[in-house]
Amino acid sequence: MREVAIAGFGKTPFGAFAGQDICSLAVTATRKCMENGHIQPSQVDAFYLGNFAGPSFTGQNHLAPYVAGEAGITGVPCTRFEAACASSGAAFFHAWSAVAAGVYDTVLVTGVEKMTSQTTPKVAEILAGAGDMSGEMLAGATFPALFAMIAHRHMHEFGTTREQMAAVAVKNHANGALNPDAHLRKVITIEQALNGKPVSSPLTVFDCSLVSDGAASVLLMPLDRARNFTDKPIRVRGVAQTSDHVALDKKETITTFPAVRAAAEKAYRMSGVTAADIDFAEVHDCFTIAEIIAIEDLGFVSKGAGGPFSAAGHTALRGSKPVNTSGGLKSKGHPVGATGVAQLCDLVLQMRGEAGARQLERTRLGLAQNLGGSGATCVVTILEAA
């Protein structure tokens, strides 16, 4: 297997963009990535697109060649990957596999979603398709309801408090306020987070990620080849994709996600590092409780300690283990098909020293955790500044 590196990246701002369709968003990120990686469309060997529900949100199918063609990329394999909110994480994993195996030398991975073209109730209905339609959704449960149950159980088992979940929201909003590409650049207080509009008890609107439009793209090459295109290649030290049951009632417990733990274990083993070695991370905070569980399942803290660890400020920008310096899904935004690759873009931004007011001092090893549904898919990637 060859060593693989990210040689370029590009992304759009995240937000609500009435004047941009799904193709224009994806093409913008793709072109930025090619420019950043100093390549031409003719140099791309394959194009992988991460997208969860473009056909449902916009009516457009056959999205991979549609986007690639508009970006000037033709005559190569163009494939769309769907794995709920981990769609572009899955696309990245398979792109890495192809480059590492020597099938291709240059692969572009773009993630995109255009969500705001539908009403909020319709968006919730479309997103619910990533859950168990024959059980959970038939009973009327949407993802806020499912993660509310997860939060209640975590509170019951470990004493996690609403104040600790609110601390996650406050921290991510503070980081997002410093991110010029974030959807909601708004600083909030603990009191605001606790007293936000109820969504599904105990979750308020400040515990829930945003409905966003946006796209992100990365360029993968063998590490030795990448050095010919950039003086700041970012090595893919480890990456793993795993799965679990879709329905919550099929899981032994709902306060941990086996797919996350398995993906993290594989990525750590491939990388030859441990959780303690990770300098910073972008994790999948679709809800504040999801970030708390993520830092536990990734091994940053022991089970049940995620809430107190967060409330104590350890995951803050200047904490011992910074998490979601981008603002996370909570503030940066969550165009679901774009999220996985966007997390990688944010790691690269930090590792290249280009994060501006959010710049960290220690950025040698960064980790991204991309979750699909209520833990049915997970991709964990570990990057190293090469």
Active site residues: 85, 334
Q: If phi over 0 gives left and psi between -120 and 50 gives alpha, with beta otherwise, what is residue 299?
A: left
Q: How far is CA 32 from the centre of its chain?
A: 19
Long-range CB contact pairs, 122-129, < 8 A, 24+: 123/57, 123/211, 126/53, 126/56, 126/57, 127/53, 127/336, 129/53, 129/56
In angstroms, rounded to a whole number, what is the distance separating the alpha carbons of residues 21 and 48? Answer: 19
Q: Residues 36, 39, 111, 64: what is their CA dihedral angle, to the nearest 10 degrees? A: 160
Please state, in angstroms and as integers, the Cα–Cα distance from residue 226 to each residue in 45, 216, 231, 322, 344, following that order: 14, 19, 8, 28, 17
